[in-house]
Amino acid sequence: MSYPANPRDIQLTAEGQLKHFLSISGLPKSLLTEILDTAESFANMGEQSVKKVPLLRGKTLVNLFFENSTRTRATFELAAKRLSADVLNLDIKTSSTAKGETLMDTLQNMEAMHADLFVVRHADSGAAHFIASQVTPQVAIINAGDGRHAHPTQAMLDMFTIRRHKGDFAGLKVAIVGDILHSRVARSQIRALTTLGVEEVRLVAPNTLLPAGVEDLGVQLYTRMEEGIRDVDVVIMLRLQKERMSGALLPSESEYYRLYGLTNDKLAYAHPDAIVMHPGPINRGVEIESAVADGPRSVILQQVGYGIAIRMAVMSMAVSGQMQERSQIS
């Protein structure tokens, strides 16, 4: 599958409103800021006695997860329910897809049930863009991760976490450490960070886990952990995605941990007020030690909670954009 050179064309209405959320690429700073601001209005809803608003009442969300997921799927479902939407979780392993039904047939059947939103996770890069180009105009598509390409809602909840703890993005130095090569999250984070105007984005990894040409995205590359995180304000750790690896990219997990695992000793090289993030799932003793993951500078659990607010924001904005575009057409 492939995705368009200018994703902005398929993601936005003629007026620049969100109608699909497929990737960060092509989206302006103003729209990313609008997503963050909208999420801010939902951020404390979990503390209220009534945890629902009627913004998507009467709408139906279908979770189409062709890959395993825990946090992403759960937070999308919870976000949709807090917006008062009906939710259908399609178990692909037991669906007709496992019996040979094509992706397009599955989509058309969901459309026939008058679904309004598809949240899609797929192993193929470009799957969400392909689906967005094929569905009827009244259906909004949210990319929950496609291959190595993008995971935009994860990137935006990471941006929300950074803004909540650090305020303005200007002047920040951010290090992304680990398996950059196989990480769709890292690609989306880089796009979001540079669009929002951070001072510096650093990628820290062994040469075997750095994608060719990634420096063209305006990042600084480091192969030594201590140098890469020196004086940074934010450290984002990534797991080793062994399920996507082919060949011997690393000597051993223990050697990787010795060189690139985030320990308190290595964290001392970062700015004293630096926060530690991780999109999950974390592998203790592989990319991060428990003392750091559970320590006072870790905001990993806060990221999970912020994911609900971000996904509420994205879904409500996409449905609003779709509705406005349909009203103009009619």
Per-residue pLDDT of the chain (330 residues; tens, 9 = 90+): 555 545 567 999 989 999 999 999 989 999 999 999 999 999 988 777 778 999 999 999 999 988 878 889 999 999 999 999 999 988 666 555 655 667 778 778 888 888 999 999 998 889 899 999 988 888 999 999 998 899 999 999 999 999 999 999 999 999 999 999 999 999 999 999 999 999 999 999 999 999 999 999 999 999 999 999 999 999 999 998 755 444 445 668 888 999 999 999 999 999 999 999 999 889 999 999 999 999 999 999 999 999 999 999 999 999 998 877 766 655
Token pair of 130 as six digits: 């392909």
In angstroms, the CA 29 to CA 177 distance is 24
The answer on whether 295 is annotated among ligand-binding residues is no
184 assigned to a ligand binding site: yes
- Please report, for the chain, the start and end positions of each structural domain, with discontinuous segments joined by +: 8-150+305-329, 152-299
CATH number of 8-150+305-329: 3.40.50.1370
281 belongs to an annotated ligand binding site: yes
- Tell me whether domains 8-150+305-329 and 152-299 share a fold: yes
Residue 147's pLDDT is what? 87
Q: Is 154 annotated as a binding residue?
A: yes
> From the CA atom positions of the chain, what is the Rg in Å?
20
> What is the reported pLDDT for 159?
98
What pLDDT, on the 0 to 100 scale, is given for residue 47? 76
Altogether, the residues listed in the chain come to a count of 330
DSSP string, 223-253: SSHHHHTTT-SEEEE----GGG--S--SS-H
Structure tokens at 274: 């630096």
What predicted TM-score, i.e. pTM, was given to this entire model? 0.91
99 is an annotated ligand-binding site residue: yes
Q: What angle do CA 194, 196, 199 make, to 5 degrees?
A: 60
Cα–Cα–Cα angle for 300, 306, 8, rounded to 5 degrees: 110
280 a known binding residue? yes
Q: Quick check: 83 and 315 in contact, CB under 8 A? A: yes
3-state secondary structure 79-137: HHHHCCCEEEEEEHHHCHHHHCCCHHHHHHHHHHCCCCEEEEEECCCCHHHHHHHHCCC
Is residue 230 a known part of a binding site?
no
Task: Check whether 151 is labelled as a binding-site residue.
Answer: yes
What is the pLDDT, as a whole number, of residue 243? Answer: 52
Closest CA to 283 of 240, 325, 318, 236: 240
What's the pLDDT score for residue 330?
A: 54
Domain 152-299, what fold? Rossmann fold (3.40.50)
